[in-house]
Amino acid sequence: MAQSVASTDVSEPNEEGHAEQTVLSLAMRALQNLKVAIESDSVRAHKRAVAKLCQLKLRLQASDELSKDVAQVLVSAGAMVGRAVTFAKNEDDAADLGITMSLLFGLVVLCKTCPPARDEEELDGLKATLAAYDAFTIDGPRENYIPHHVAAGALLRLWSTPGGVVPTAIARHAAQRFFRATSAAMFLNKILEAADDDEEEDDAMFCSLSVGAVLQEANPEMQEKRLQGIADGADSEVGQQVLRDLILSFLLPRELLGARKTLLLTREASKRAGVEHGMLLSQAHDAAMRGAPWSFSDDENEVHKSCALLAGLAMLQLAKMKEADVRVATPFDGMLQIGFFELQPCAHKKRLVYDEEGNTWRVYSHEPLTVHARGVGLEGLKACVLDLI
């Protein structure tokens, strides 16, 4: 996909003749073409998708009708393209896909599913909502937590408001934030439906009849011994690097972290952390130098304990993958889904997902979607890790 698609000719003939197509059918065809383009690395399919999207843009601009169904298709396409941007093979592919992602976001705005701000006060409220969402840290308070779907709605309304964003605002950055937030909201909603959380207490611990559950009930000491063994897996120089960057990922704001595809922070995030959050960087470095085994067994800081356990799990997965380079390996072999990682689908039957709003960990599997374990905070993580392995 190294060839640019920005100048695609949108007047190419319709494959089905010149019969009138609905805006929904145009969106569906574009989604199908994008899927082919990403899965097969096809420049032609990408061009065809962009042509459909440009036709769709003209149709939406000429209409004042609400296009909710079209918006849903575009959001699905945007989530797929956003992920492809992260995993693009080279900068040219990433740039082309980034343009397409921006176009998809613009089309979602044109679907008019969210009203613009009515006045300056409401506009300021939308900006405050997004600022709070971007400032969220996993280790921070949750009294004023902004859910993903609320942030996505605020961003959409902001960009739907004439004069709502400064002329220098970058559409690609907004598109990336929007599609990540909507993807997280939709995925989490599916997990919550499978878990039937509405019927459980908020802080309820749940574990299926697995090895982890049996150990927890029958022999807590054996449970802690197994968990300590996992944390010990990060007792190395590389393990210290992973522990440091995991701790930082729990302490730094969402906006700085973004979503990465490796265990270690990106160069840009590391640089900003040093400049803007020097004390946090020093704290994470000191904890890493003490090592994951000590952090898990003796550190009183729950973030350090949790990250020590996660670092050990990450290193064990690296060993199973026979991947020595931590800078390129897929974090946790794709088993852990958390806000600061962007991962490809993995082949593991069970996966671990973190719900930041409730500080809740869950182990789930697909086909059918089933939740096997759930728990809050450090104790929840321990139960889930035992169920996972």
Q: Alpha helix (H) ranges present in 63-201?
A: 68-86, 91-110, 120-135, 148-160, 171-195
Q: Please state the pTM of the whole predicted model.
A: 0.85
Any idea which residue has 């439906």 for tokens? 193
Q: How far is CA 111 from CA 72, 80, 106, 287, 366, in A?
A: 10, 19, 9, 49, 32
pLDDT at 2: 46
pLDDT, one tens digit per residue, over 242-255 is 999 999 999 999 99
Tell me the chain's radius of gyration from C-alpha atoms. Answer: 23
Residue 260 DSSP symbol: B
pLDDT at 65: 78
Q: What's the CA gap between 198 and 191, in Å, rounded?
A: 12
pLDDT, one tens digit per residue, over 80-106 is 999 999 998 888 999 999 999 999 999
The strands making up 370-376's β-sheet, listed across from edge to edge, are 206-207, 370-376, 360-365, 350-355, 336-337
Distance of CA 259 to the CA centre of its chain: 6
pLDDT at 206: 59
Residues of the chain predicted below pLDDT 50: 2-19, 197-199, 201-203, 209
Please name every residue paired with 374 in a beta bridge, in sequence order, or none if there are none: 206, 362
pLDDT at 198: 40
Domain spans in the chain, listed from the N-terminal domain onward: 23-110, 120-188, 196-388
